[in-house]
Chain A
Amino acid sequence: MSTPRQLPRTGRAMDESFFTAQRRHRRTARAFAALAAVAALLQALPAAVMLLPVTLGAAVLLADVVNLVTPTPDLATRIGEALGAASAGERAKGFSADSIATVSGEVVHTAPAELMAMGLLPGMLGMVALWWLGSRFLLRDGLGGVLISAGGRPPDRTDDEEHQLVNVVEEIALAAGIRPPRVLVLPAAVPNAAAFGRRPDEATIAVSRGLLEELDRDATQGVVAHLVASVANGDLRMRHSLLAVFLSYALATDLLISPFSSPARRRLRAAWRTLRGKAGPEQEASTIRDLLRWHDEDDNLLSQFYAMLWRLAQFWTNLLLVGGFLTLPLRARKYLADATAVQLARTPDGLGRALLHLHGRAKPLPGAEWAAIYTITSPAAVPGADDLEDAVTLPASLHPPMSRRLARLGRLGFREDPAADPWPQSFWRMERNDPSRRVNTWPWPARRLVDLLGILVVLFVIVPLVLLIAAIALGGLLIAVELGTAIYAFLALPVVAPLHLLLRYLA
């Protein structure tokens, strides 16, 4: 155990007060959260397009069934007319309501836009419903289960390190004015810590043994302050919703391939058990883990191809529209939690030193790898096949780069002091953000020339490159979505058509 020390009383000048920093980060977080909500809805769009044949088929059959009781319009004819009109209209002079009306020779009620709305709305609503289910029920006790299956246990008060941890948590909770969160110790040797929980008043702080052994009291206090700040700021809810977005895509994939994939059916049954509250916490944990993993054990080619298309569409939307937007609020909240942690501990030193130490050392918590969203800092990326998996199932870089976090801490008064740093590994990228080093001593014309070159490079190299990548991504997205839609149409037609004819014949 490191020797207990008094709190350091630092009277250093700060570039920015932590209250100002918090206000700033809170504002950005709000704006980003609104953007992320829009982005998440947009991400449901390609999914809804791919589902179009299924939802339209269901609508046709539903209308047919209702037709047995009371007359309803024949949706299949309408859809056929609209599709014919659309393609004819395209052939003639592009989409317009007039061309559709003239092609069929009489007043056509179902225009393509209407058709799209009719088909897309259920798909998008379905995705939102899955998201809601995921956030509402699936994560109920699953997080606790993950911690338990990872070996989490209450701290042992006879152990000095764990006794100190409980003390530190209770102290910081006092500073934040919240009830002390539950503390769990994970036996893992990797240094990392996370805050879990549904609500601020039933939060859990999980700290690995590795972290307790590697950090001294002040650094542990910094880590705990960050986690408590994040709990007190209400970050848990947001991360929850974010994770549920990914969960909803996993659920949608499994629902769609369930007719021809037994592993998917098994996963869905497990999810259903969890939803009804029949599963224990450990089972819930394994359900979530299974859903969020990349599945390659699917038993036949068709389901594999399907899942691939689906994931491809997801991947491109992620890259194009959503990925960045989803991670932005999370990053803003991270900065906010850092600034609040400085307010709570009244010093940026503990947190700063802890982050410096954890950088590159923090690894995913064994048994809870997908829960990186809840940890204090990003686990080091594992090179190889795992990267792609992360990029698709979970946003790869949820955490802000360490250099930016340290730069923001620097503005709150954190100064890296290698002499006082008990850990030799240092983080020299900090210097890049040191304002005193930004002063350019070159003569005026040279500076202007460099500025001009920079502008030219951005205009003629970076911007076209970004546009090119975006175009390729958009093309990939369109191909994946069209192929997926075609396959679903191909599969839905033999089921819907005979049923439709039979039902209409009966009526």
Chain B
Amino acid sequence: MTGGSGTAVAAVVAGAALLALLVVVVRIRNGLVAHREAVAEARRQVDVQLRRRHDVVPALVRVVEAYLAHERELLVRVASARSAAVAAVGAPPAATSAAENRLTAALGDLRGVVEAYPRLRSGAMVLRLQEDLTSAENRIAFARQFHADAVMRYNTAREEFPQALLAGPLGFRAAGYLELELPGR
């Protein structure tokens, strides 16, 4: 009789331990999934913000066109860089970075030219568009920064004990930082 109850107790203890272990594993997995999703979401946000900048450019070109008729070549370069960048969204990282960087360089030149024309520089419309362009670039920078922060949080969570024991077997690979070589920080 004593042997029987002893076995039953052992079975209950083993079952409880197994259940506790399962709960721990599930919790760790859920935590890692949340971190990984945050990284993926941050990555999508970078693309959204890149597209957002593409949308600002045509309006800027339209407004300064009237004043900068003699800078035709620059305006064409901005426009073509923009359409190249639009086409390169979703392409391999190297191609996207190259296109985005060309757009950034062209926009930088345009800013320089606008700065050189006081009448243009102080125009309300131009000021507004410049603000929007600055904001679009800041947004890209901040979205990338958030991505980097999310990657760091995910990788840290992955490498900490006890998650480190399970991250590999459960298939959580280390997240990489953004391959895009973008303007800014």
Q: What is the interface of chain A, defined by CB distance below 8 A to chain B?
A: 1, 3-7, 9, 160, 163-164, 167-168, 170-172, 174-177, 217, 343-344, 346
4 shortest A-B CB distances, which residue pairs?
Answer: A167-B135, A175-B142, A4-B134, A174-B142
Q: Is B79 located at the chain interface by the 8 A CB criterion?
A: no
Q: What chain B residues lie within 8 Å of A9 (beta carbons)?
A: 184-185
Q: What chain A residues lie within 8 Å of B50 (beta carbons)?
A: none
Main SS class of interface, A: helix
Report yes or no: A167 in contact with B185, Cβ–Cβ below 8 A: no
Q: Is B139 located at the chain interface by the 8 A CB criterion?
A: yes
Please tell me the number of chain B residues within 8 Å of chain A, measured between CB atoms: 26
**Complexed CA–CA distance, A163 and B38 (Å):** 29
Report yes or no: B145 in contact with A346, Cβ–Cβ below 8 A: yes
Report yes or no: B146 in contact with A7, Cβ–Cβ below 8 A: no
Q: Can you name 10 extra interface pairs (CB under 8 A) apart from A1-B131, A171-B139, A174-B139? A: A4-B130, A167-B135, A170-B139, A174-B143, A175-B143, A177-B38, A177-B146, A177-B149, A217-B134, A346-B145
**Complexed CA–CA distance, A217 and B150 (Å):** 26
List 26 A-B pairs, Cβ < 8 Å: A1-B127, A3-B127, A3-B130, A4-B130, A4-B134, A4-B135, A6-B134, A6-B137, A9-B185, A160-B124, A160-B127, A167-B132, A170-B139, A171-B139, A172-B142, A174-B45, A174-B49, A174-B139, A174-B142, A175-B145, A175-B146, A176-B146, A177-B38, A177-B42, A344-B142, A346-B185
Name the distance in Å between B57's Cβ and chain A's nearest Cβ.
Answer: 15
Q: What chain B residues lie within 8 Å of A343 (beta carbons)?
A: 149
CB under 8 Å from chain A, chain B span 36-81: 38, 41-42, 45, 49
**Complexed CA–CA distance, A266 and B41 (Å):** 52
Q: What chain B residues lie within 8 Å of A163 (beta carbons)?
A: 128, 131
Report yes or no: A171 in contact with B138, Cβ–Cβ below 8 A: yes
Q: Is B28 located at the chain interface by the 8 A CB criterion?
A: no
Q: Is B182 located at the chain interface by the 8 A CB criterion?
A: no
Report yes or no: A7 in contact with B141, Cβ–Cβ below 8 A: yes
**Complexed CA–CA distance, A427 and B185 (Å):** 30
Residue of A nearest to B150 (CB): A177
Which interface residue of A164, A174, A175 has the most chain B CB atoms within 10 A? A174
**Complexed CA–CA distance, A172 and B146 (Å):** 10
Report yes or no: B131 in contact with A7, Cβ–Cβ below 8 A: no
Report yes or no: B131 in contact with A4, Cβ–Cβ below 8 A: yes
Name the distance in Å between B63's Cβ and chain A's nearest Cβ.
Answer: 15
Name the distance in Å between A84's Cβ and chain B's nearest Cβ.
Answer: 56
Q: What chain A residues lie within 8 Å of B150 (beta carbons)?
A: 177
Report yes or no: B38 in contact with A160, Cβ–Cβ below 8 A: no
Question: Inter-chain contact count A-B, CB under 8 Å?
Answer: 61
Q: What chain B residues lie within 8 Å of A164 (beta carbons)?
A: 131, 135
Pick the contact of B128: A3, A160, A172, A176 (CB < 8 A).
Answer: A160
Report yes or no: A7 in contact with B139, Cβ–Cβ below 8 A: no
Name the distance in Å between A232's Cβ and chain B's nearest Cβ.
Answer: 11
Name the distance in Å between B23's Cβ and chain A's nearest Cβ.
Answer: 25
Q: What is the interface of chain B, defined by CB distance below 8 A to chain A?
A: 38, 41-42, 45, 49, 124, 127-128, 130-135, 137-139, 141-143, 145-146, 149-150, 184-185
Q: What chain B residues lie within 8 Å of A6 (beta carbons)?
A: 134, 137
Q: What chain B residues lie within 8 Å of A217 (beta carbons)?
A: 134
**Complexed CA–CA distance, A163 and B129 (Å):** 11
**Complexed CA–CA distance, A115 and B184 (Å):** 70
Residue of A nearest to B133 (CB): A4
Which interface residue of B45, B138, B141 has the most chain A CB atoms within 10 A? B138
Report yes or no: B185 in contact with A171, Cβ–Cβ below 8 A: no
Residue of A nearest to B156 (CB): A19
Residue of A nearest to B129 (CB): A4
Q: What chain A residues lie within 8 Å of B139 (beta carbons)?
A: 170-171, 174
Pick the contact of A7: B49, B143, B184 (CB < 8 A).
Answer: B184
**Complexed CA–CA distance, A483 and B184 (Å):** 68
Name the distance in Å between B179's Cβ and chain A's nearest Cβ.
Answer: 20
Q: What chain A residues lie within 8 Å of B133 (beta carbons)?
A: 4
**Complexed CA–CA distance, A239 and B159 (Å):** 35
**Complexed CA–CA distance, A164 and B127 (Å):** 11
Name the distance in Å between B77's Cβ and chain A's nearest Cβ.
Answer: 20
**Complexed CA–CA distance, A177 and B146 (Å):** 7
**Complexed CA–CA distance, A174 and B185 (Å):** 15
Report yes or no: B146 in contact with A171, Cβ–Cβ below 8 A: no
**Complexed CA–CA distance, A175 and B127 (Å):** 24
Residue of A nearest to B134 (CB): A4
**Complexed CA–CA distance, A344 and B49 (Å):** 17
Pick the contact of A171: B38, B42, B128, B135 (CB < 8 A).
Answer: B135
Q: What chain B residues lie within 8 Å of A168 (beta carbons)?
A: 135
Name the distance in Å between A93's Cβ and chain B's nearest Cβ.
Answer: 55
Q: What chain B residues lie within 8 Å of A167 (beta carbons)?
A: 131-132, 135, 138
**Complexed CA–CA distance, A177 and B124 (Å):** 32
Name the distance in Å between B115's Cβ and chain A's nearest Cβ.
Answer: 9
Q: What chain B residues lie within 8 Å of A160 (beta carbons)?
A: 124, 127-128, 131
Residue of B nearest to A168 (CB): B135
Q: What chain B residues lie within 8 Å of A7 (beta carbons)?
A: 138, 141, 184-185
Residue of A nearest to B132 (CB): A167
**Complexed CA–CA distance, A177 and B142 (Å):** 9
Q: What chain B residues lie within 8 Å of A4 (beta carbons)?
A: 127, 130-131, 133-135
Q: What chain B residues lie within 8 Å of A176 (beta carbons)?
A: 146
Name the distance in Å between B17's Cβ and chain A's nearest Cβ.
Answer: 31
Residue of A nearest to B143 (CB): A174
**Complexed CA–CA distance, A217 and B142 (Å):** 16
Q: What chain A residues lie within 8 Å of B184 (beta carbons)?
A: 7, 9
